[in-house]
Amino acid sequence: MSQFDVIVIGGGPGGYVAAIRAAHLGAKVALVEKEKLGGTCLNWGCIPTKALVKSAALWREIQHAGDFGIEISGAQVNYSQVVARKDQVVSTLVMGIEALMKKNKIIVYSALGKVMESGKVVLQKEDNSEETIQAAKIIIATGSMPARLPIPGLDLPGVINSDDALKLTEIPDSMLVIGGGVIGMEFASIFSAFGTKVTVVEMLPSILPMVDEELTKRFRPLLKKEGIEVLTSAKVKEVEQIGAQLVTMVETGKGEVEIITTKVLVAAGRVPVMHGIGAEQLGLELTGRAIKVNEKMETNVPGIYAIGDVVGGAMLAHVASFEGIVAAENALGQQSVMDYRVVPSCVFCHPEIASVGLSEQEVKEQGIDYVVSKFPFTANGKALAIGEAVGTVKLIARKDTGAIIGGHIMGPHATDLIAEVGLAIKAGITGQQMAETIHAHPTLAETLMEAAHGLVDKPLHLA
């Protein structure tokens, strides 16, 4: 029976990062993955969708090339090539992770890892043979899978989930998206850019519930301009097939409506994967369908840690990676804790949306005395030069100390710009300090400096 210091179950962005960190600390590490290294994020989520986002963005730019004095004729979308490029990006990154495993001397087992007792993992291989390995510390990083909704007709051909959407070889004529969260809105943006008529149905009163309410209100008209119809406070009752079409019955505040499309995409969230984890046998404490952990990523069972989507909370790749680092360090005797105050949330739609820290609603609910400053991309030279001047930057700071506690951006490269706000919150930077930091000109980052000036006095380049 092979003996390790740490066994990690799941090779996603939480698991493989945990394995690398444990190896860096001198541990003998085993990583168990039943499918592909990189997990959902790399193979069926973050990375492939961003490859599609780039193709969609390029197609938008080509359609507006005339605005920049560039005349293009005969351009068309070769979607099979779009998909091939997406697959190549994924393949390259998977090979990169495989190389990291070898470099760090991490033993990778291609198998389903089953944990039925502390300290031991049973490997169920593709040929149905089994092998048992053991370690004093086990890190569970089994991830999540698309949620299944109790709606009649979701098993019909043409009804797909986010994994299936990435496998499409042709652009659908029309698509109904069930769920107005990050996954739903990103796919809506992608396929709409390629010419699909998209309708989004969301049960809640607003799409993107994790985004600052003001930005969501500004975003809705932009979606309409893109040709994306959004129905909020609406509930899908049933999906039926009539010929080659899918007919979806949707209950709205104005009564029931029929929406006819060629595809229905179910993008209503994800649920933790517990297959192979003997929660009852181990005595693992759960919170709903997720594994309960403390700030050190420890479960209630000594020697067993859990990270990523399987613990619920913010199901984000970067959160899983950070939790993996914390779990690995604690498994090897360090005293590390998770800090969830600074978790960036990004939506790769058009335009991009990114948030970190507290929203204005949360600040009000917590009774914090605060100041808000906003600066539009229409007043930014770089944004105008690149033809992407739609959007705004919103910063929130404590009124007493001036410390920045929230940042929300809708606009070009918002998902990159948000890192500066995250660092400011983590380091306790004030609006005054950000305003006094020289930002290169002309850059999109100047919008943050201008908004910071607004926290102290007034933005400089805003009439």
Residue 24 is a catalytic residue: no
Q: What is the pLDDT of residues 46-83, one digit of tens each?
A: 999 999 999 999 999 999 999 999 999 999 999 999 99
252 sits in which H/E element: strand 245-252
By C-alpha distance, which of 156, 115, 159 is closest to 277? 115
> DSSP letter string over 39-56?
HHHHHHSHHHHHHHHHHH
Question: Positive or negative CA dihedral for 126, 130, 132, 137?
Answer: positive
Distance in angstroms between the alpha carbons of the first and the last residue of the chain: 72
CA 304 to chain centroid, in Å, comes to 26
88 sits in which H/E element: helix 79-103
CA pair distance 248, 43, nearest whole angstrom: 30
CA pair distance 207, 234, nearest whole angstrom: 11
Please tell me the predicted confidence (pLDDT) of residue 350.
95
Checking if the pLDDT of 1 tops 80, the result is no
Q: In 295-411, which ranges are continuous DSSP H helix?
A: 317-331, 360-365, 381-385
CA pair distance 460, 417, nearest whole angstrom: 19
Q: Please, which residues bridge with residue 161 across strands?
A: 266
Please tell me the predicted confidence (pLDDT) of residue 36.
93
Averaged pLDDT, 408-436: 98
Question: Positive or negative CA dihedral for 419, 425, 428, 430?
Answer: positive
CA pair distance 333, 283, nearest whole angstrom: 23
CA pair distance 247, 236, nearest whole angstrom: 11
Phi-psi region of 238 (alpha: psi -120 to 50; beta: other; left: phi over 0): beta
Do the domains spanning 2-146+271-331 and 159-268 agree at the CATH topology level?
yes
What CATH number belongs to 351-456?
A: 3.30.390.30
Mean pLDDT lowest for which of 98-102, 124-128, 141-145, 190-194?
124-128
Give the number of other CB atoms < 10 A from CB of residue 172. 20
Give the number of other CB atoms < 10 A from CB of residue 279. 16
| Cis-peptide into 351, omega within 30 deg | yes
By C-alpha distance, which of 215, 167, 148 is closest to 352? 215
By C-alpha distance, which of 344, 281, 357, 280 is closest to 314? 344
Task: Give the confidence band of 128 by pLDDT, cuts at 50, 70, 90.
Answer: confident
Six token digits for residue 188 = 């809506």
Domain-by-domain residue ranges, the chain?
Answer: 2-146+271-331, 159-268, 351-456
Q: In 104-229, which ranges are continuous DSSP H helix?
A: 162-165, 182-193, 213-225
Six token digits for residue 391 = 């959007």
**C-alpha angle with apex 391: 387 to 392, nearest 5 degrees?**
130
Q: What is the pLDDT of residues 357-382, one digit of tens each?
A: 999 999 999 999 999 999 999 999 99
Superfamily, domain 2-146+271-331: FAD/NAD(P)-binding domain (3.50.50.60)
Checking if the pLDDT of 431 tops 80, the result is yes
Which residue is listed with tokens 């938008």?
60
Hey, what CATH topology would domain 159-268 get? FAD/NAD(P)-binding domain (3.50.50)
The pLDDT > 90 percentage for the chain reads 95
Please tell me the predicted confidence (pLDDT) of residue 274.
93
Which position among 24, 441, 453, 461 bears the catalytic label?
A: 441
What letter does residue 367 receive in the DSSP assignment? T
Is 231:201 a contact under the CB 8 Å cutoff?
yes
By C-alpha distance, which of 426, 434, 427 is closest to 455? 434
| Cis-peptide into 150, omega within 30 deg | no
Phi-psi region of 329 (alpha: psi -120 to 50; beta: other; left: phi over 0): alpha
Six token digits for residue 20 = 């690398």
Q: What is the pLDDT of residues 285-326, one digit of tens each?
A: 999 999 999 999 999 999 999 999 999 999 999 999 999 999
CA pair distance 19, 104, nearest whole angstrom: 9
Q: What is the pLDDT of residues 4-19, one digit of tens each?
A: 999 999 999 999 999 9
Is 461:379 a contact under the CB 8 Å cutoff?
yes
CA pair distance 355, 347, nearest whole angstrom: 9
pTM check: above 0.75:
yes
- Give me the phi and psi of 80, to 5 degrees please: -65, -35
Averaged pLDDT, 431-436: 98
By C-alpha distance, which of 283, 261, 9, 279 is closest to 143? 9
Mean pLDDT lowest for which of 23-27, 145-149, 356-360?
145-149
Checking if the pLDDT of 148 tops 90, the result is no
Amino acid (one-letter) located at 338: M
Q: What is the pLDDT of residues 238-285, one digit of tens each?
A: 999 999 999 999 999 989 999 999 999 999 889 999 998 999 999 999
Is 240:247 a contact under the CB 8 Å cutoff?
yes
The pLDDT > 70 percentage for the chain reads 100
Averaged pLDDT, 317-337: 97
